[in-house]
Amino acid sequence: MKKCNLKDALKIYPRLLFVLDKDGSIIEVSGSLASELDLVQSKVKGLKSYRTNQFPIRKTHYKQALSGREFSFNIRISERSFETELTPIKDKHGVVIGIAGMTSDITKNLEIEQFLDEERHNIFVNQRLSSLANVTNGIAHEINNPLAIISGYAQQLETISQENAPSLERLNLITKKIVSASERCSRIIDSLKDFSRDGSHDDFKIESASDIIDATVNLCTQKYKSAGIKLKSNSVDVDLKISCRRIQLVQTLFNLLTNAFDACKVVNRPMVTIKVTELQNNIAIAVTDNGPGIPESLKNRVFEPFFTTKEVGAGVGVGLSIAKGVIEEHQGLIELESSTSNTVFIITLPKAYEQSEDKTEAS
């Protein structure tokens, strides 16, 4: 019975293994991927690797490896994706005398990653639509208040217009009230439009932290009022800026406020606070609720995908994992404060400065 040796094993190894000399010429190839790429030892030995069709390396890669650095790169060949790792071969004096390489076919892996990214996006969209359904009812009630004001003052205008000498002071007051109520409606609608749109491909822009908080609170106010839950937010300096995708940040904060709402509605005198604190180079946004809290044994799992402490059917457990991804895309950090009995989620984001401010500081 024939024994299997290392050379036989390398022939069926599902990679491309190769050795190049210091001039980039092919010394040896092995592995089943070599056959798939038609890189037969007898045909390619002695050829320049970076000039050989189907060989997963370019001249720039070969030159980088000659500098003595080990590295990897991705490359496309015939509609397939490959990852190649290059390792310089050195003599006892540290001089590079050749290059060893290994190539893997990552086409399927990239397809799977793309599929998972699309599925994560679909989950996020579905969650946002579910939240939107809950928000819409509250927004309708919220808009009814300024609409009632507009309607009432419009009727007064109709009455005053029939007077022989209407009071200009009274007319001025009424028009200001109508304009104010109209602007209130506009802000609510803008917040709803923002929330319903996918902002994952928007450009990062410098926004006021105060505006972000106001837009989020506008979406939640009526829902909190109807449930008898107090929602408090502190005064935020309008000059405090962050670079963000506005819509994504509003959606993330809304999810935190929704979780806080669900957590504290079971206690007496429920209350949720959203507080912005200016740090040296960052801005911290803390969302706190006075609910029963998260058990200590579960605190380290809250950001895991599909983990939830809610009852079956009340949530799919993707809100916090998505929030974590969004905040990390913003070069920030989201964490659960563990040193308090209340549930406190803290988002830390880097400060942003307008271009004119940067110039002033530089001078």
Which residues 6+ apart lie within 8 Å of 292 measured at CB?
A: 263, 266, 267
Residue 28's pLDDT is 92
Q: Of 227, 252, 224, 206, give the one whose Cα is nearest residue 345.
A: 252
Question: Concatenated DSSP letters for 212-281?
Answer: HHHHHHHHHHHHHHHHT-EEEE----TT-EEEE-HHHHHHHHHHHHHHHHHHHTTSSS-EEEEEEEE-SS
Lowest mean pLDDT across 113-127, 145-159, 250-264, 342-356 = 113-127
Q: Are 210 and 236 in contact (CB under 8 A)?
A: yes
DSSP state of 25: B
**Reduced 3-state DSSP string for 113-129:** HHHHHHHHHHHHHHHHH
Question: Concatenated DSSP letters for 72-102?
Answer: EEEEEETTEEEEEEEEEEE-TTS-EEEEEEE
Say whether pLDDT at 360 is over 60: no
Say whether pLDDT at 308 is over 80: no
Residue 292's pLDDT is 86
Give pTM, 2 decimals: 0.53
Higher pLDDT: 138 or 144? It is 144
Q: Of 99, 96, 102, give the one whose Cα is nearest residue 24.
A: 99
Distance of alpha carbon 200 from alpha carbon 41, whole angstroms: 48
Label residue 186 by pLDDT band (50, 70, 90): confident
Question: Concatenated DSSP letters for 118-170?
Answer: HHHHHHHHHHHHHHHHHHHHHHHHHHHHHHHHHHHHHHHHHHHTTSSS--HHH
Q: Are 266 and 229 in contact (CB under 8 A)?
A: no
Q: Give 85-130 pLDDT, tens digit per residue.
A: 999 999 988 899 999 999 999 988 888 878 877 766 666 666 655 5
